[in-house]
Amino acid sequence: MEYNFQSIEKKWQAHWKEQGSYRVKEDTNKKKFYILDMFPYPSGAGLHVGHPLGYIASDIFARFKRHQGFNVLHPMGYDSFGLPAEQYAIQTGQHPAITTEKNIARYREQLDKIGFSFDWDREVRTSSPEYYKWTQWIFKTIYNSWFDNTTQKTMPIASLIEAFEKNGNYNVSPACDDNWHASLLELKNNEGQPLYFFGANWNGEFTATDWQSMNEEQRYHLLMCFRLTYLADSMVNWCPALGTVLANDEIKDGVSERGGHPVVQKKMRQWSMRISAFAERLLNGLDTIEWPENIKEIQRNWIGKSEGATVFFDLEKHQEQIEVFTTRPDTLMGVSFLTLAPEHPLVSQITTDEQRSAVNEYVEKAALKNERDRQVQSKEMSGVFTGAFAIHPFTQKQVPIYIGDYVLAGYGTGAVMAVPAGDQRDWDFAKHHNIPMVLIFENHDASEGACTSKEVPLIHSDFLNGLCGSEAFNKMIEALLEIQHGNRKVNYRLRDAVFSRQRYWGEPFPVYFKDGQAQMIDDQQLPVTLPEVDKYLPTEDGEPPLARSQWKYDNQFVMEYNTMPGWAGSSWYFLRYMDPQNNDFIASKEAMNYWGQVDLYMGGAEHATGHLLYSRFWTMILHDLEHIPFGEPFYKMINQGMILGRSSFVYRIKDTNQFVSADLRKEYNTQQLYADISMVDNDKLDIEAFKNWLPEYQNAEFILNEKGEYLCGFEVEKMSKSKYNVQTPDELVEKFGADTLRCYEMFLGPVEQSKPWDTKGINGVHNFLRRMTRLYQNDEGVILVVNTPAEKPSLQTLHRAIKKVTDDLNRFSWNTVVSSMMIAVNELTEQKCHSKEVLDNMAILLSPYAPHLAEELWEIAGNTSSVMDQSWPIALKEFLEDDTFSYPVSFNGKMRFNIDLSVQLNAADVEKAVLAHEKTAHYLEGNTPKKIIVVPKRIVNIVM
């Protein structure tokens, strides 16, 4: 019988479904293995061949682990809240839930065809109320928590209140914004008086008595400064025309990517998550997990730890100080000016009357640019002198103060001390504005640029003269502490994460507002479900879509009309798979204790600074609060690469309707046009299909090459509809079968590498499966499997394959496994081996890669059980080694010939045998060997 993959795959998929083969339960007698794929957003376009790459790899690994006796949790679900469904709803009025449902059905159909071993009973969808009930619960939990800087741990907010009751905020160090107390002083009560009783110079300390005398409103705002999710005014990219906030990557050249509308910077009251408190934990945790080094690096950079010092500069004519952060306190003696961000709060206060108009103009100009624009600006170091001077803390000399938009308000203190001798940017700024430099490095000629090395001894630096590096760094910090003008400081780039979105299709907040204060809705009333709206657009006065519903809590209190961002649901979904139907908790303690951390996480590297950071953040919080038994969500991670498309091109001669074959196109002036890859086979164009493709090509004429063919050009690029290079898995499953597709995607190369999709090679893999089939059955359907014992060479072939396949899977080398199995099948075919003892083991080896065919072959060989239930074969040592080894013999490192010798021989005997060999004399050319290197079972090298 021919390899009839269509009927085989249909048969076994139905069988597995009927048997519930992939259902999994906690079983404390078995070791667990949790292998997870990043769940997809179910887009309307469906899957292309790139999407299942990671799923295939993880599915193979899950099946391998099952054979090894592990209890494997391998679930799948959908990240089903998101923008595309909402956009579609705006255009068509169709409810996003309906669109999402449809897309999920299509995804499921496509996934099912590929034969994945997901336990679909555990499916989760982030948009289902049963699921987002717990997203809301986690939000509330985070709201009711604070972070203790001393112990570096999340604590319930009640414990902070208790501390305040006892000692005010003495002896307690909750994570918060540096100037949290300043923002409280701006608040007013109903009478328009300051809400708090602290004077304008309050430094943030308060006593137990202060706390006890606070009213409920005062305590609300005070606590908000310490909660791990909090309401605060933050700068957002507001697009008035679209009525929504845009993410940075939704803006191109200062206008919205969609529609090209202007975008302005606006302060909005938003929920934020205090991820900045976890900077150090997130950084250190990376050392405890096995992730690809590049992802760890991306996260480290994103967290952006820098160690340095805070320095306070007194002002010449004002009480206030300017606080700067620097990583080079050792260069403090070289300060020639300070630069403030245009938004710095002291700017208007210190600017002199002569400079005021210039400064105002500059500040206004800067406000029009968003942060990203500003960074793209030219290198000409724009800035304006404020007219004010600071006083150098050591030399007491005047230091001019500038503003410049290269200083960002959002990083550090929004102010920098400039040392032109030691920083290239400061050097550029000084040159441009003709500010005198202070030279502080030995032998440094500052006419060319700054000296950025830390290893050059200092000069003109008073007590630091002659020192450099960390010695100077530490000595300066000591000196700063002594004169009380600075201290050691660690700064992080990581910012708190905005958690509000002005969208419809996302999780609603379990929050309403009473007297302007946010109130959490009781756990018993969760989930708070999405209300119906007439349109999925913002209201006329710019409120989010949910406001259209006139939604009220208890019929009187305004609800929070924002929704949660996309990363909310995906930050904890791996927990829900453990116990997806649980109504009492995110998952039962038993289930979480059993399944624990994800052992292997497979997904794209593009989530490095989003999902992969946020889910670590939430896991740490939940772990600290003892809701879950582990502190890092994903132990081992592998990033699959992207599969790129191979686009085909035709070449039209300019201003004609003539197309010229790619190999002849240089002779003409041509225009390159896409041709759909379905009309191209082996770069040869199906001319008739092309003519019928689009009306404009109907009367096209073709200049063929000498073989009478029309060749297409090609390019490797991202798969996309507009490039006509999308290859769907469905077509390939139809044509070659799921097993072939699975093997081929693995055979393409290492999973973590990006590579072009090219269907050319798929025949080779398909042939391999056919040759495998022929070991069991000839083309007439006669079963060849025999019960006679196998010959030694066949057993050697088998056991070598077992060893190689097992080793390669253990080191996640999916591609080489296919090669090893091909080699085994080629050898067994040559040996005409049809022995059941060999073939049964071969079927088990094959089953992770080609599960349908493996089941079929297992059955053909006369077995009644399922191949999936068989334990993984063990490679027997006696069949792994030959009696002889073919030694390569090299002369001065050049390999000349092989000699077969018994593996029993020791190095001296090998040397003797080689020297006795007839060819040795020839290659010695009369020389005496100076040295002979023998590495047993590897190589012989003769040095002359």
Please identify, using beta-carbon distances, which residue of 162 and 881 lies nearer to RNA.
881
Minimum distance between the CB of residue 314 and RNA, rounded to whole angstroms? 19
- Identify the residue among 314, 323, 663, 807 touching RNA (CB under 7 A): 807
Q: DSSP assignment of 29-93, as one string?
A: TS-EEEEEEPPPP--TT---TTTHHHHHHHHHHHHHHHHTT-EEE----B----HHHHHHHHHH-
List the interface residues with RNA, window 824-863 (CB under 7 A). 826
682 makes contact with RNA (CB under 7 A): yes
**Can you give the length of the chain in residues?**
944
751 makes contact with RNA (CB under 7 A): no
Q: DSSP assignment of 679-733, as one string?
A: GEETTEE-HHHHHHHSGGGTT-EEE--TTS--BPEEEEE---GGGT----HHHHH
Question: How many chain residues interact with RNA (CB under 7 A)?
Answer: 88
DSSP 179: T
Minimum distance between the CB of residue 642 and RNA, rounded to whole angstroms? 8
List the interface residues with RNA, window 619-638 (CB under 7 A). none
- Identify the residue among 84, 449, 713, 749 touching RNA (CB under 7 A): 749
Positive or negative CA dihedral for 229, 230, 233, 238? positive
Q: What's the farthest any 2 CA atoms get from each other in the chain?
A: 110
Minimum distance between the CB of residue 31 and RNA, rounded to whole angstroms? 24
Minimum distance between the CB of residue 806 and RNA, rounded to whole angstroms? 10
755 makes contact with RNA (CB under 7 A): yes
Please identify, using beta-carbon distances, which residue of 207 and 487 lies nearer to RNA.
487
What is the rounded distance in angstroms from the CA atom of residue 61 to the CA atom of residue 74?
A: 10
CA 380 to chain centre: 35
Q: Which stretch binds RNA (CB under 7 A): 103-111, 232-240, 318-326, 584-592?
A: 318-326
Minimum distance between the CB of residue 942 and RNA, rounded to whole angstroms? 8
CA-wise closest residue to 792 among 724, 888, 876: 876
Helix, strand, coil fractions of the chain, as percent rounded to 5: 40, 20, 40
187 makes contact with RNA (CB under 7 A): no
Are the C-beta atoms of residues 702 and 687 closer than 8 Å to each other?
yes
Please identify, using beta-carbon distances, which residue of 184 and 818 lies nearer to RNA.
818
- Identify the residue among 328, 485, 742, 799 touching RNA (CB under 7 A): 328
- Identify the residue among 771, 863, 917, 924 touching RNA (CB under 7 A): 771
Are the C-beta atoms of residues 116 and 163 closer than 8 Å to each other?
no
342 makes contact with RNA (CB under 7 A): no
Please identify, using beta-carbon distances, which residue of 216 and 293 lies nearer to RNA.
293
770 makes contact with RNA (CB under 7 A): yes
Please identify, using beta-carbon distances, which residue of 243 and 764 lies nearer to RNA.
764
H-helix segments, 351-422: 353-368, 371-376
293 makes contact with RNA (CB under 7 A): yes
What is the rounded distance in angstroms from the CA atom of residue 775 to the CA atom of residue 514?
A: 76
Residue 192's region, left for phi above 0, alpha for psi from -120 to 50, else beta, is left
What is the rounded distance in angstroms from the CA atom of residue 531 to the CA atom of residue 129?
A: 12
737 makes contact with RNA (CB under 7 A): no
Are the C-beta atoms of residues 486 and 393 closer than 8 Å to each other?
yes
List the interface residues with RNA, window 488-527 (CB under 7 A). 493
368 makes contact with RNA (CB under 7 A): no
Minimum distance between the CB of residue 341 and RNA, rounded to whole angstroms? 6
Token digits of residue 175: 């994570």
294 makes contact with RNA (CB under 7 A): yes
Task: Print the binding letters for residues 862-901 with RNA: x by CB under 7 A, - otherwise.
Answer: ------------------------x-x-x-xxxxx-x---
Q: Which stretch binds RNA (CB under 7 A): 5-13, 183-191, 372-380, 782-790?
A: 372-380
Residue given tokens 């081992």 in the structure block? 636
- Identify the residue among 360, 549, 671, 815 touching RNA (CB under 7 A): 815
Token digits of residue 540: 């006329």
Please identify, using beta-carbon distances, which residue of 721 and 931 lies nearer to RNA.
931
Minimum distance between the CB of residue 725 and RNA, rounded to whole angstroms? 16
How many Cβ atoms are within 10 Å of 373's Cβ, its own excluded? 15
Minimum distance between the CB of residue 90 and RNA, rounded to whole angstroms? 28
Q: Which stretch binds RNA (CB under 7 A): 15-23, 114-122, 294-302, 649-657?
A: 294-302
768 makes contact with RNA (CB under 7 A): yes
DSSP 129: H
Minimum distance between the CB of residue 135 and RNA, rounded to whole angstroms? 25
767 makes contact with RNA (CB under 7 A): yes
List the interface residues with RNA, window 296-315 (CB under 7 A). 297-298, 301-302, 304, 306, 308
List the interface residues with RNA, window 402-461 (CB under 7 A). 405-408, 411-414, 416-417, 423, 425
363 makes contact with RNA (CB under 7 A): no
753 makes contact with RNA (CB under 7 A): yes
- Identify the residue among 245, 608, 643, 850 touching RNA (CB under 7 A): 608
H-helix segments, 276-370: 279-285, 293-303, 347-350, 353-368
Residues 6+ apart with CB under 8 A from 786: 834, 835, 836
DSSP 197: -
Please identify, using beta-carbon distances, which residue of 196 and 406 lies nearer to RNA.
406
Residues 6+ apart with CB under 8 A from 599: 33, 34, 35, 635, 636
Token digits of residue 76: 């799948």
